[in-house]
Amino acid sequence: MGNGYDDPFEGRLDGEGRPVYGYDSPAVQETYVSREAERIAGFLLPHLRPGMTLLDCGCGPGAITAGLADAVAPGRVTGVDLEPGMIAKAKELSRDREVENVEFRTADIADLPFLDASFDVVFTSAVLEHLAEPVQALEMIHSKVKPGGLVAAICTDWGDPLISPANAAVRQFFDLFERGFNRQGGSLNRGRHLRGMMRQAGFDVIEFSAAYGNSSTPETVQASVGSYIEWMENLPLFEQSIELGWTDGASLDGIKEGMRHWAAHPDAFLAVGRCEAIGRKE
């Protein structure tokens, strides 16, 4: 790679050339379409002004990016993602919503193809947890932000999910998912360290907090469990867990069935954490 870093996505492809995290799957991509800027990036919106230039690193299918573009219009927004299928979906979504001040391109967060000091704001959500070297990715982002500019980052922290009633299948899903991430050098439990990572990358962190995504109604619980099952059926890392001897097909089927049964309980409740930070480049 051109930046001299070790590849933070090393090992991201399985034996058939598919992303281990399965984000080339249409079923998985569709689970991200409902993520809107007001709900996911609400902590950033008060800092945005018309005319700003903004980069969304790991834009996925572009739903959040479109909302950010509305917030800075007529400023320009660029969305990048490593997965070409996500970029194709993002372009389609922006056309459907008639968002004119946004563009999308395939790019690696560890080797961003932009001039230094190109953007007023950089946003990244649910990317750092995938990386073996998240601080190096933040250093790359730091180089692309203008002096005085901002980076807003969200990093998952599923280390202590709130699960009620207690359920072994749901807990096993989270444990197996984290083990798969660990094998690639990532972690779903590092959000609590986000402020420290951003400081290591050179940012003055001006905001830092934790939040929970709550599934507290039958509809939202079913939707969350449905997404988890989609991931189990589409992400190669779950197939690899069988090959590595961590589990077997019958056990995975048992986890899925156990989660479905749990989701039908009238008191089923699930809350998973994330940490949010805003840093300024001095």
Q: What is the CATH classification number for the domain harbouring 65? A: 3.40.50.150
pLDDT of residue 163: 98
User: How confident is the model at residue 8, as a pLDDT?
Assistant: 28
Predicted pLDDT of residue 129 = 94
- In angstroms, the CA 48 to CA 76 distance is 12
Domain annotation covers residue 132: yes
Q: Which of 32, 11, 4, 60 is nearest to 182 (CA)?
A: 11
Give the pLDDT confidence score for residue 256 in this predicted structure.
98
Q: Report how far Cα 37 is from the mean position of its chain's Cα atoms.
A: 13
Asked whether residue 12 is assigned to any structural domain, the reply reads no
Would 3 be classed as within a structural domain? no
Residue 16 inside a domain? The answer is no
In a domain, 240, yes or no: yes
> What range defines the domain where residue 237 resides?
26-280
Q: How many helices and strands in the chain, by DSSP H and E? A: 10, 7
This prediction has a pTM of: 0.86
Does residue 105 belong to any structural domain of this protein? yes
pLDDT value at residue 149? 98
pLDDT at 38 (0 to 100): 83
- 157 is a domain residue: yes
Number of domains in the chain: 1
Low-confidence residues of the chain: pLDDT under 50: 1-15, 17-18, 29, 33
Which residues touch 130 (CB under 8 Å, ≥6 apart)? 9, 21, 181, 184, 186
Gap between the Cα atoms of 216 and 92, Å rounded: 32
pLDDT at 125: 95
Residue 203, in any domain of the structure: yes
